[in-house]
Amino acid sequence: MLGWELPPHNSGGLGVACYHLCKALSKKGVDIEFVLPYTAEHDIDFMRINSAHPQDVEQVLKSGIAYDSFKYVKNSGEIEYIDIFGQSAIYEQAIERIVEYAEFDVIHAHDWLTCRAALRAKELTGKPLIVHIHSIESDRAGTNGGGNSLVREIEGTSMLLADKIIAVSEHTKQAIIREYAIPSEKIDVVHNSFDTANLITSEADSAYRYISAMKQQGYSVIVNVGRLTIQKGLTNLLHAFQAVVERNPKTLLLVVGSGEQYYELLSLAAQLGISKNVLFTGFLRGKKWRDAYAVADLFVMPSVSEPFGLTPLEAIGYGTPVLISKQSGVSEVLRNCLKVDYWDVDEMADMMAAVVRNKALGDVLLANSKQEYDVMSWDKSAIKLFDVYHTQREAVTV
């Protein structure tokens, strides 16, 4: 299996999904060799983790954005400059070496960064290739047909050459068909899930003393957790939130995350006259991150396009009802939540105001969503994937 990250070194949901999928697959007896682009310690015993290159995770993260070049030191001490495409190429070279000695039946690659390596592995070994799409370039760019053209080329080519494509949602499957004209039959949807056992229960004393004090004063709290980027639809959220504050001044919006839209959102909140009500925390981990969910009365995910979206499930786990955009994969599996088109600012405001004003609504939403949540399991996703593996292996060994 070819992946780009695993917890605790993940920058987003990709690593989390890979971790849980592999764990559930291993329970079904699948023997996994997981190749990462970096070397790190993992507390993982259900699969072998292989490092494609002796570099620490910071080196990969530094290369984060396409076209950025950063200083990079080789083992020999030689210095060169490398960008995210360079990282992808190094990964590809390492995979070439690994497939020479490794024994496996199926190549399973996650997202575009591993795709060049996956194609090379298929070329060298003739083994079936499954490309697993957690997000595509148009999602990340926040516009249909948008994004980095090199990335689009890699995505398109690898999906054309793949034997099977897995999409994390129907939303993503439709996006793949729209963006790359891939035949529908070639794409299976395997929804992400949520491992409820993995939830760390929040400690009693909240990290948000100020917000807790404000709640004592009758304030309600709405929270968003995610990168501050166009894809996440946060400008619409601020406009909607302004309408909520007009009707219900004792409302706070907690925005958790960092990203290139930070200054823009800070300025927009000021322009809308709601600076006092909007709190930005920056990027968080650990207790502060967990408590952000727990302190809120409503979690909102207003994404323009969200391939799946784990955060609403985390919110439910921490006892907070959710409002999500219809343009998200998670809205396909979650029933007991509020759903809104990301562009419908008025409706979004109405729904937020309804929960803020009517505690019973939030309570019922939470209680029912909690029932859905409790039966969620990655095992169902693993069963589907296991079948795909089986079919693909059969197809080749004839």
Partner 1 sequence: MSAKAIVLYLHVHQPYRIRHYTIFDAGNKHDYFDASHDSPTSNERIMHKVAEKSYIPTNKKLLELLHEHPEFKLSLSITGTVLEQFEKYSPATLRSFQDLVATGRVEIVGETYHHSLAFFYSLAEFEMQVKMHREKIEQLFGQTPKVFRNTELSYNNDLAYWADRAGYKAVLSEGWDPILGWRSPNYVYRPTYTNQVRLLMKNYKLSDDIAFRFGDREWEQWPLTADKFTHWLSETGDATNFNLFMDYETFGEHQWSESGIFEFLHDLPKKWLQTAGHSFMTVSEVAECFDPVDQIDTPQTTTWADTERDLSAWTGNPMQQQAIRGLYELQTNIIKSGDLQLIDDWRKLQTSDHFYYMCTKWFNDGDIHAYFSPYDTPYEAFTNFMNSYHDLEFRLIEKGFEV
Q: What is the contact surface with partner 1 in residues (CB under 8 A)? A: 207-214, 216-217, 262-263, 266-267, 270-271, 273, 275-276, 279-282, 288
Give the C-alpha separation, 257 to 237, whole Å.
Answer: 15
Residue 135 vs 261, nearer CB to partner 1: 261
Give the C-alpha separation, 71 to 92, whole Å.
Answer: 20
The torsion angles phi and psi of 104, rounded to 5 degrees, stand at -160, 165
Residue 209 vs 398, nearer CB to partner 1: 209
Residue 181 vs 213, nearer CB to partner 1: 213
Name the residue among 133, 233, 212 with its Cα closest to residue 177: 133
- Least CB distance to partner 1 at residue 145 (A): 30
Give the C-alpha separation, 187 to 18, whole Å.
Answer: 18
Residue 318 vs 378, nearer CB to partner 1: 318
Residue 12 vs 249, nearer CB to partner 1: 249
- Least CB distance to partner 1 at residue 282 (A): 7
The torsion angles phi and psi of 219, rounded to 5 degrees, stand at -80, 145
Residue 136 vs 211, nearer CB to partner 1: 211
Give the C-alpha separation, 178 to 166, whole Å.
Answer: 15
- Least CB distance to partner 1 at residue 250 (A): 9
- Least CB distance to partner 1 at residue 217 (A): 6
- Least CB distance to partner 1 at residue 200 (A): 19
Report helix, strand and coil shares of the chain as percent, to nearest 5.
50, 15, 35
Kind of pairing between the strands at 251-256 and 220-225:
parallel
- Least CB distance to partner 1 at residue 291 (A): 10
Kind of pairing between the strands at 164-167 and 129-133:
parallel
